[in-house]
Amino acid sequence: MTYQIIGAPFPVVICELTTGESMSCQAGAMAWMTQNVRMKTNAGGGGLGGIFSRVMTGESLFQNRYTAEGGVGNIAFRAETPGEIIAVEISACNSIIAQKGAFIASEIGVNIEIALQKSLGAGFFSGEGFILQRFTGNGVVFLGIDGTVVDYTLDVGETMVMDTGTFAAAESTVSVDVEAIQGLGNVFAGGEGLFNTKVIGPGKIWLQTMPLSSLAQSILKLAPKR
């Protein structure tokens, strides 16, 4: 499989499949495809556990599998929200965690699992919820990022503190936690809420500049008042 990511702020990833190659995607993610690509809807891998994982991590109950038949086929997948699409190579030594609902499509060797945060505080106050997605196996996975993606590679023990909702994805070696904002004045007048999300290296992290929740709030402010 080869691919090309194009378009902004509504990107698509166009994948070229050889005969017999398949990809899985979130329901509704397919934008267009050549006539020789065949679709089959199924419950994905992992049995009942796999179904539970997809539902709990914000994905659809069923997945669509697309397979090229009788020659090279092309298929395009789109993101649901304005932003970017990133491609991450998953392997036995490189799994990642991501925000709920980030999954767009992947090669069929990639598995989607539940990733519970280390602490209840991280789950309830980090803006990402108690449950994240974990991607394991082998192959390329495509994730949707809200706004513009900014990535960093953290050294061992290196820490990055961010506004809630800014976290998009990280290598599984990265720890995700929360940090209370200090000072009553900062809490009540700073406009940043009670907590920030804290990630600790080593590993790569992907941040997003405009979480969907922040975009919705910005649009709501412009709505006519009745």
Quote the pTM value. Answer: 0.82
Question: What are the tens digits of pLDDT across the range 113-152?
Answer: 887 655 555 455 544 455 789 999 999 999 999 999 999 9
Q: How far apart are the first and last CA of the chain?
A: 52
Question: What are the tens digits of pLDDT across the range 163-175?
Answer: 878 999 999 999 9
Q: Exposure of 51 by Cβ count < 10 A (0-12 exposed, 13-18 middle, 19+ buried)?
A: middle
What is the fold, at CATH topology level, of the domain defined by 2-218? Double-stranded beta-helix (3.60.160)
